[in-house]
Amino acid sequence: MNKKIILMTALCGVVAGVAHAQDYLPVSGTWNTPANWNGGALPTGGAGTGNARIRDLNTVTLAIPGALGNNLWLGAGAGADRSGTLTILPGGTLSLSGQTFVGGSGGITTGTLNINAGGTLQGSDIVFMGRDNATGFATVDGTWNTGGALWMGVQGAGAGTLMINDGGIVTVNGQLGLGWQAGPGNTGGSGTIVVADGGQLSLLTPWNNANSIQAGSVMNINLGGTVIASGNKVTSANDYFTTGRIATDGTGISATYDSGSNTTTIVAIPEPATLGMVVAFGGALLFIRRKMVI
């Protein structure tokens, strides 16, 4: 029999060096047009020309299945605005063999990733959102499998925001870090995740009970949204909620551990008649307090 615990309660890494990036030319258009890329060839899944950089205010759409790349930058470089946007349309699939940078690095750079319903992004390494003072935005209505860690607001004053909408599924294969500090002496920025009604975030690697959501960062779990975390994270979910690092538009969160799957499911509690509830569990009384979405 699976043991279930129900409570009504409320990183470090090394960035790989990359060379010979395949830049998208200063025009907006489709991913699958070779002439739009420096060198007149599409990125591949290997090194060298496999590295794709979309920047210089370019907006790129991807609507084909089977697109490949190694490392992907959306926005990269200091100085003038080097922002870039990629939208994966229904039926479009992109598989990466390297790292992903949404808001890669430097100055006023902003990276934007949109995965529409029916679109898929499959990664295989670390995802950085808002690195080195850059800003990263991602909106997911389709499917995103990071393939590695998800680090948001990494170093400096970087900021990353991830919105998971109805039908959107984001799976993080490595460590989660919001306001993450990648290396000694670096100050983390901020990270915000919103799991909206019908959205799902799955964390396949147990989060760090103290450091995965730093002060100034927040994971919003809205009514109807679901977070599935590896391991027994009932206590740490409660701790993050108490300190305002997990928030909800309901009156609190319900964290349920299932020993059979070794996962903790976290959802928002629907609005009751009052702002506080008292739940008896194991002889203890736990008070739920409302945490509004930030």
* DSSP state letter for 24: B
Q: In percent, how much of the chain has pLDDT > 70?
A: 79
Q: Which amino acid does the sequence have at 81?
A: D
Q: Which residue has the tokens 């027994």?
A: 232
88, β-bridge pairs: 62, 115
More confident residue, 80 or 29: 29
Quick one: pLDDT at residue 82? 83
> Is 47 a member of any domain?
no
> Is 100 a member of any domain?
yes
> Is 162 a member of any domain?
yes
Quick one: pLDDT at residue 60? 95
| Domain around 90 | 4-11+78-288
Residue 187 burial (C-beta neighbours within 10 Å; 0-12, 13-18, 19+): exposed
Average pLDDT over residues 8-12: 36
* 54-58, 174-178, 232-236: the lowest-pLDDT one: 54-58
Number of domains in the chain: 1
Quick one: pLDDT at residue 285? 30
> Is 73 a member of any domain?
no
pLDDT over 90 (residue 67): yes
Average pLDDT over residues 22-34: 82
What does the block give as tokens for 291?
């945490």
User: 20: helix, coil or strand?
Assistant: coil
> Is 263 a member of any domain?
yes
Secondary structure (DSSP) of 75-119: S--SSS---EEEEE-TT-EEEESS-EEES-SSTT-EEEEEE-TT-
More confident residue, 2 or 58: 58
Secondary structure (DSSP) of 32-59: T-GGGBTTS----SSSGGG-EEE-TTEE
CA distance 192 to 174: 17
> Is 24 a member of any domain?
no
Q: In percent, how much of the chain has pLDDT > 90?
A: 61
pLDDT over 80 (residue 221): yes
Quick one: pLDDT at residue 7? 37
Quick one: pLDDT at residue 26? 63
- Beta pairing, strands 190-195 & 22-23: unpaired
> Is 98 a member of any domain?
yes
What does the block give as tokens for 20?
């010979």
Which helix (H) or strand (E) segment holds residue 284: the answer is: strand 284-288
CB within 8 Å of 249: residues ≥ 6 apart = 220, 222, 223, 268, 292, 293
Average pLDDT over residues 144-163: 92
Q: How far is CA 41 from CA 53, 66, 101, 242, in A?
A: 13, 15, 21, 52
CA distance 290 to 252: 5
> Is 61 a member of any domain?
no
